[in-house]
Structure 1
Amino acid sequence: MSDNAIRIGVQVQPQQADYAAIRAAVGELEDLGVDIIFNWDHFFPLYGDPDGKHFECWTMLGAWAEQTSRVEIGALVTCNSYRNPELVADMARTVDHMSGGRLILGIGSGWFEKDYDEYGYEFGTAGSRLDQLAEDLPRIESRWDKLNPPPTRKIPVLIGGGGEKKTLRMVARHADIWHSFSDLDTFRRKSDILAAHCADAGRDPNEIERSVGTPDGDPAEVGPPLLEAGARLFTIGVGGPDYDLGKARRWLDWRASL
C-alpha cells in the first residue's frame, strides 16, 4: 500500500439481524470494492434493543474468511479481556490462513461492562484493562513466532482508542494501524501525541496508518479535512436488521472522484 492510498472500510455490526442479512451485506460490500470489512467483539447489541439479536466475533471472522476472496477482514476491535493472549494469537493465525493472508488483528482493552458482567469476566478499571493489554501484546507477537505453521504474513495490528499516556504509547510500539474514535480537531491533536510517542520508540510515525470513523455529511466536504490531517482509512458503521450500504457507496464514489 502506498503512503497516499485511501482505503474504505465498513464495520458490519453483528447486531439486531439474522445471520443471512450479515452474510449478504458482506458479499455485497466485497462486490462494491471496499477494502476492509470489520465486525466488533461484543456479546450484546450496543444500539437498539439491548437484548436483541447478536452474534460472536471470531467464529464470524472464520466464516468471512471462507466467504470472501479479496477484502481484508477483522474486528474493530477484539476485546483483549475475553481471551488468553496465546489463544488470540492462534485464532488470528488460523483465520489468517483461512483467508489467504487477509486478516487484520484489531484489538483494544475493552469497555462494555454488560459483556463482562454477563459472561463472568472481571471488569476492573480502565487503567487495569489497558495495563493488561500492554502486557498481552508482546505475548501475542511472541506466540506468532512459535506457531507451526506461522502466519502467512506479518499480521497487521490495529489498535483502537486515544488514551494519550497508555493507548497511544502502545500504538507507537505495536500497531500498524491506529483507529481514532474522535472528531477532526481531536484527531489532529492525538496524531501529534502519537508522533511524539513514535519518536520515543524510535519509530517513523508514517509507518502507522491512520484510521477514522466517517462523520455524517457529504464525503466531498467532510473527507478532505480528514485526509489533510493524515487519515487514510475511512470506516463506515452499518447495523441491522437491514444493512443500508448507501453511505459506503457514497464514500467509494468520493474516493473514485479524487
Structure 2
Amino acid sequence: MTAPDAPTPAAPIDVPATPSATEAPPPAATPSLSPAECAERLRALFPALFSGPAKPIKLRIQADIQARAPGVFTKAALSAFLRRYTGGTGYLIALTRAPQRLDLDGQPAGEISAEHRQAAADELVRRRAVHESRRQAEEDQRRERWQLLRAFETTTLTKDNFCALKGMTPEALDAALAQARQEAEDRARERPPQAPLGGRPDARPGRPGPGARPDARHGSRDGRPSDARGPRERSPRPPRPAR
C-alpha cells in the first residue's frame, strides 16, 4: 500500500507588523511656507529684527534662525524669504545708512563692510536710473497719444485714411484714442480748481473785486474808466494886473 499523501502546509498569511509601544512615530515634515508667511512668522518670533522698517541683518543669520526655531522653516523657504528681504529697496537704503548689522534680538552683530555698503549704493543708483527712464518713456507715450487725439479730432481725413497716414490699424487707433481721453479726464480731476478773480464768482478780467485797489490804467476810484472823463479840466488863472 502506498502511504497517504502528507497534507500540504497552508500558505503563510502576511500580517502587517504592528509598531511596538517603544518605537517613536516618524517626525512630521515641516510645511513649506511662502515668503509672505515666512515674514509673518519671523515678525512674530523675532520682532526686534523683523518688525518695522528693514534693518541690516547679521551675516549667516539663517543658522541662528534654525537654532532658535527648529523645525519651523524649511531651508528652501527661509532662503527664498531672505533673498527677497535683502534685495528690497528699503533694505538697501538701510544698508547704506545703518552703522552695524543686527542679530535676532536687535543687538549689534558686526559692522557693515565698505564693500557691501558700496554695492548697495550702486544698486540704488541703478534702480533710480531705471525708474526715471521708465517714467520718462511713459510720459513720452502719453504725450504722443495726446497729440494723436488732437490730430484725429481736427483732421478732415476719413478714419481709414488717417490710419494709413499714421501707419496704424483701426483697432490700435481706437485703443490709443480711448486711453488718451481717459488720461485727459484723469488730469482734469487731479487739477485743483482755480480761485475766481477778485474773490467773487462773478468777477471778470479787468473788473476788480471788493477791496481791490483800482488800477490807474483801467479806471479810477469811482469805477469809471479814466478815458471816459475827457481831458483834464484846469482851473482858470487870475488875470494879471495891468502895468
TM-score by length of 1: 0.21
Structure in which a larger fraction of residues adopt strand: 1
Larger radius of gyration: 2
**Bigger relative contact order, structure 1 or 2 (CA pairs below 8 A, ≥6 apart):** 1
